[in-house]
Each structure stands twice: as structure tokens, then as C-alpha cells.
Amino acid sequence: MRHFGFTTFYFVLLRFADYSFISSLRSSEANMNLMTKKQVDTLVIHAHLFTMQGTGVGYIADGAIAVEGSRIVAVDSTEALLSHFEGRKVIEAANCAVLPGLINAHVDTSLVLMRGAAQDVTNWLMDATMPYFAHMTPVASMAATRLRVVEELKAGTTTFCDNKVFGPLWGEFFDEIGVRASLAPMFDALPLELPPLQEGDLYPFDIKAGRRAMEEAVDFACAWNGAAEGRITTMLGMYSPDMVPLEMLRSAKEIAQREGLMLHFHVAQGDRETEQIVKRYGKRPIAFLAEIGYLDEQLLAVHLTDATDEEVIQVAKSGAGMVLCSGMIGIIDGLVPPAHVFRQAGGPVALGSSYNNIFNEMKLTALFNKIKYHDPTIMPAWEVLRMATIEGARAIGLDHKIGSLEVGKEADLILVDLSAPNLSPTLLNPIRNLVPNLVYAASGHEVKSIMVAGKLLMEDYQVLTVDESAIVADAQVQAQRLSQRVAADPIHKKIVLMEAMARGQL
């Protein structure tokens, strides 16, 4: 969609005839000026509007949006909207880009409490992260969630698909801060203390504990799905298919079908998973998942790093979505997951990250893929912006509600200040440089104001719904305690980075 003329605007309104004021518009254009203007909660005006409608970025010059309640009721030029609407609140967005709120489709918010403590090593999970996980408490984990969500919200992420081992107050916090969330409580069936395993050994399962963990996850998912006026939805989030027994995989799928929930988990994330699945079931993970009926539009497949191109195409063609965490997989494995192949096969790719904000992920995704294919035309700016918005929304099954600025959708939007020196100058003609700058030059700190479901969560760089400093301070306290517990446990001597500490490199 480009700049609407009046007629287009009129028909857009007609499509949403449940708004009572529509009838007053069923008059000739000549009568328009005599109409009383419709009052709406909020008008955002004078924006460089990226609606993400159509197949590109849906740019509208000097664009405006009208919001009533939680929803968008009109999208057009500022002139058109000012002639029809009066806003109880008017947000001036001159020299701002206004975009749909960004989507982080895979984040384990608890990880942030060990940010910077695990990287530059061969086995990220076992050589660096595990000692911290071993000493994580529910209170620490919630402090992490609060920090991570505030941090990313400030950088324009409005939808969080949090996939973590959950505990008390998880849903309540997402309700309180006001972001959109699709929460996927994580579970597995590994025993609490894993016995020493040799290369090639199958993991043992603690089926009783696994079933209990899954039941708790299902209870959470059912209780919170549709909470906060629909702002919070849920998925089922087992860790990966090698970490639960077949019977639990079958139950999880049944429950997901019964409750209408997506299944959000790591798929073909690495050779460990592949080896376990091959040894247990005689097939590679994708073939195994196909066999047990997992390949369909209910699946949100995270990573796919270890899948062959043929397997990736099979998943994409099944209707499943994929999440690409470029920064995480780059730092953990030095690899670039096969999102380009997935997209070429027609599957929707969303972006995710436990450490980076989504502006960063857009940049890394575009650049990593250019490097992977030695081709600067791969994954141009507009493609990754779509992954962070409308395509991401498709991948997580929420494109009927979010991902574009469109009449009838939820009013989740962000204002990005284009007068930040690192986003300057603004060029419009012959080449408009805004989308490339949002992808290659923005850091996320240029996000000025944020609305979710029609409610302002941040205005002029101030978070309105929670106490940001208190959250940072609390996370610091909890992280220090976690760190001290790790330091007091001889397990810390196994952390590979202890050598770098000793060499004065940290």
C-alpha cells in the first residue's frame, strides 16, 4: 500500500463497518467537510510510516495512524486523518519512522543474568553456561526476565516469545509491563542430576519428573492463553525433541492440538541432538518429527542449524515457522542458520535473541547471510525488516493481530527518531535511505516512544509502566548472588574462561 487517495481511504473504513461512525461517512465527498470529526484515543501524525502492508515495506510519506482502544482504526496520510479524526492524544512524529513493534520470537529471558560470562568457547553450554544455570533460582530468573524485557522494550521489541524454565510471577510481569507476549514454558525429561555420559550415550529420562514438568507447563499455558485482554498468549515449549521421550512428544502434540497452541522448541540445533535422535529412533530429527506428525503450521522451529537444505525445505513446506537467532548462533557455533533456504522455500522466518535487541539482529542477519553466500544482495534491508515484523508475526501465528500497521490490527507501534546522528541524514529521493538505516545503522537506542495494544509503554525515552532503575538494580543484586554461588561451587573451575581470567584477558 502506498499513499491512499480519498477513495481508497473510504473503502478501507468501509471494510471495518463495525465502527459506528462509519455510517456518517456514507455521504458524498462534498459533504465531508461538514462532518463532525470522529474522536479517537490517539493520533500519530507526520510520520515516515512503514506499514509493512503489501510485499514491501508499505511506506507512506507524512503518514498518520488513528488508534481507538487497543486497535488501529485508520492508516493514511496526515492530511487525510486530520480531516476525519480528532485525537484525545496527538503524538507528533515528525522526522520519526513509525513501524510495527518488533518481534523477538525466541528468547530465554533468564540467560541475561549471565550475559558476558559465556562466549568465545567451544562448548558454550557445558563449558560456560551450565554452572550458572545450576545455581539459578526462581527469584534470580524473574529478575533476569524483568531486565531483559525492559532492555529490549526500550529498543523497540513489543512482542516476546519467552521460552524459559518458568516460575512464579512470570505471566504477571508481562501483564504489568504491558508488552505483548507468547509465553512458551520450557520443560524436558532429563534427570535433575545427569550421570556422567560418554560420547554417544543416550540421555536417560526421568519420565515422572518430565511428565510433572510438562503438566505444569500445560497448566500455565492454558491459564495464561488469552490473558491481559488477549495481549498474552502461550505456546508449549519443550527444550528439544531429544530431551523428552516419545510418549511425551505424542502427548504434547495432542495437547497442543486440543488447546490450539503452537509448539515452540529447538529443532535440529546441533550434532548432539541429531546423534541422540538417530540413535534412539533411527532417523534424523526432521524425518523423525515428520513421522510423529510434528511438521505442520503448529510448529515454531528454532535454529535448524544442523538441518540439511533438503530438511529445511521440508520443514518450510510443511507450513511451520522458523526462528533465526543470528547473534546467538554466531557466538555459540560460528555458524549461520539456513534461514535463507527456509524463506526461498516459502516458509516464514522470525528473528530471536536472548542477548541482542532486534535492531541488532536485523543487522547481523543481513550481514551474516551476505557473508555466508559471499553475496551482498542476499537479505537486503527490507527483507530482514519484514522478518522482524509481518513475517515474524506469521511465523508465530499472530499475523492476524500484529506485524503490520493495518486497520483492525492491534496498535503495537514504535517511533524511531531519525534525527539521531547515527541515523542522519534522511534522504527521500531518488533513493529513500530509511529502511537501510534502520537495519544497518540503528542500534535500538533511537526508539523514542512505544505503544502496545493502544497503550503507551514508553514516551520520549521514559518507560512508563515499570521502574527501570529498580529493575536494573534488582537484576544486579540477583546476578551478584548467582555469581557468588557459582564462585563458591568448585564447579566453576571447569569454566573454560577461568583461563582467560588468569591470563588477564577479561
Per CB under 8 A, the segment of 5-13, 100-108, 289-297, 355-363 that binds a second copy is 355-363
Binding to a second copy, residues 75-134 (CB under 8 A): 113-122, 124, 128
- Site membership for a second copy, residue 364 (CB under 8 A): yes
Which H helix or E strand runs over 78?
Answer: helix 78-84
Q: Which of 251, 330, 399, 466 binds a second copy (CB under 8 A)?
A: 330
SS3 label, residue 340: helix
Per CB under 8 A, the segment of 207-215, 289-297, 330-338, 341-349 that binds a second copy is 330-338
Pick from 170, 174, 17, 186: nearest CA to 106: 186
Pick from 297, 109, 296: nearest CA to 186: 109
Q: Which of 355, 387, 403, 415 binds a second copy (CB under 8 A)?
A: 355
Per CB under 8 A, the segment of 213-221, 344-352, 392-400, 419-427 that binds a second copy is 419-427
Closest distance to a second copy from the beta carbon of 385 (Å): 9
Q: Which of 370, 399, 408, 456 binds a second copy (CB under 8 A)?
A: 370
* Rounded Cα distance, 410 and 273, in Å: 38
Cell numbers at 189, concatenated: 525429561
- Site membership for a second copy, residue 422 (CB under 8 A): yes
Q: Cβ closer to a second copy: 23 or 429? A: 429
* Rounded Cα distance, 61 and 1, in Å: 12
Binding to a second copy, residues 33-62 (CB under 8 A): 54-59
- β-strands 321-324, 349-351 pairing: parallel
Binding to a second copy, residues 377-416 (CB under 8 A): 377-378, 380-382
Closest distance to a second copy from the beta carbon of 332 (Å): 6
* Rounded Cα distance, 325 and 303, in Å: 7
Closest distance to a second copy from the beta carbon of 195 (Å): 25
Closest distance to a second copy from the beta carbon of 438 (Å): 9
Q: Which of 427, 461, 467, 470 binds a second copy (CB under 8 A)?
A: 427
Closest distance to a second copy from the beta carbon of 431 (Å): 4
- Determine the size of the site formed for a second copy (CB under 8 A): 96
Closest distance to a second copy from the beta carbon of 424 (Å): 5
- Site membership for a second copy, residue 211 (CB under 8 A): no
DSSP calls for 238-297: ES-GGGS-HHHHHHHHHHHHHHT-EEEEEES-SHHHHHHHHHHHSS-HHHHHHHTT--ST
Cross-strand pairs, 187: 238
Closest distance to a second copy from the beta carbon of 462 (Å): 13
Closest distance to a second copy from the beta carbon of 98 (Å): 16
- β-strands 71-77, 59-68 pairing: antiparallel
**Half-sphere exposure in the Cβ direction for 477 (13 Å, CA):** 9
430: preceding bond cis by omega (within 30 degrees): yes
* Rounded Cα distance, 458 and 450, in Å: 5
* Rounded Cα distance, 47 and 145, in Å: 32
Q: What is the DSSP letter of 129?
A: I
- Site membership for a second copy, residue 372 (CB under 8 A): yes
Per CB under 8 A, the segment of 145-153, 172-180, 183-191, 450-458 that binds a second copy is 145-153
Cross-strand pairs, 183: 234
- Site membership for a second copy, residue 371 (CB under 8 A): yes
Q: Which of 195, 196, 310, 503 binds a second copy (CB under 8 A)?
A: 503
Closest distance to a second copy from the beta carbon of 367 (Å): 5
Binding to a second copy, residues 437-476 (CB under 8 A): 437, 440-441, 443-445, 468, 471-472, 475-476
Pick from 127, 133, 227, 131: nearest CA to 175: 227
Q: Cβ closer to a second copy: 407 or 475? A: 475
Q: Which of 75, 147, 214, 307 binds a second copy (CB under 8 A)?
A: 147
* Rounded Cα distance, 450 and 454, in Å: 10
